[in-house]
Structure 1
């Protein structure tokens, strides 16, 4: 075989191997990168997370509505304790959801969430939440699940948000895979209160 042709074939082969390795690495990074993108931009109604509330509270009032649903595979009744609250922009508020295990066995669920309108996600900030944390309920057990939040004051500077006077916070609970192996110690199921998570 011609030595020059052999060198070209090796370069092409090396390029193909590098391209495959790059695509595999990108596929592993896609989920955390997408999650980071959603959290930074509020894309798809993804809310923000903060450890503290803003210093300023404005006069503009936003109605926060609460919605809840449960995957059919999880034998829980899950609902908000209040349908809505009116909050001033920058004001910290707290709402409660309640979940009850209607089965005769211990079950574990985890919640996903979003807000609508989707464009409000980048301004809706939670300081305490039960979402994405395993919640274990004993047979017949009922627990209150708090969520603390505020609407960021930056909302008033966004002309695209001028027509928004209502934001809906929605949660959906799903069963955890392998829930029978989950220890209740991290969820304070015995005390009747789940551990809040920032």
Structure 2
């Protein structure tokens, strides 16, 4: 018999902000508060910054609304996310080449310019949420592909994203909606 995942007892309130703070014990890790839940997180290898630049590996400080979500195609797990997650496959990527017209946009692979592949061999993009960093008002070179995604075991630093353990991501997903604000400070 298959058991359904239960919804958390906490109901997300419209306009609520998710706080992301630097861990006092490790500047490359963070503490994420979503309602009554507090999670450990991996942050960028460049720490936190107010002056985000492409390739610096830093997590940008600021308010970033959730714009969309995605998940690994072919997974049978129910996600119970608060928004529809697009399934990514072998042809899905994200352009990180500042000089390209598709900079900081999803692209179809193969793609000649520098890009990130969304279907990975590891678990990082099993579930991901696109954050509005340099997307709606895009400026070349100010950073791309800032996501909330699954962390590697041990929470090693990311390339600038925020990453939760797979277990914590599954608790957080039902609370995430389009427009939910992640405030990194």
Same fold (TM > 0.5): no
Higher relative contact order (CA 8 A, sep 6+): 2
TM range (shorter): under 0.3
Q: Pick the structure with more helix per residue.
A: 1
Larger Rg: 1
